[in-house]
Amino acid sequence: MAALQSLKPQGPRELIVAVPVAPPDRLDELRQYADAVICLSTPEAFMAVGQFYEDFRQVEDDEAVELLRAFAPVTATTT
């Protein structure tokens, strides 16, 4: 949701969200920010994303920051 909210003001031609699983009411919220929402499964008995995965380990903050830095786009610098 945060990613969509930050992208929308940049004026993309189209925003498409694809998720493997989500509760139906959350999809309604996503539709407010995206042009299309694709979801493979919308179970009514949704408690947490992790319940639908065999292995859904948590990622520590430091690891997430490291991954984001590793895959951040390279920006041009002027000298």
What does the pLDDT look like over 7-42, one tens digit per residue? 888 889 999 999 999 998 888 888 988 999 999 999
Name the residue with tokens 């065999």.
54
In this prediction the pTM is 0.64
Distance CA 1, CA 29 (A): 8
> Region 48-53: what's the mean pLDDT?
90
Q: How many CB atoms lie within 10 A of CB 3?
A: 10
Token representation of residue 19 = 């998720």
Distance CA 10, CA 35 (A): 14
Token representation of residue 22 = 């989500």
CATH of 2-70, one of 3.90.1640.10, 3.40.50.2020, 1.20.1300.10, 3.30.465.10: 3.40.50.2020
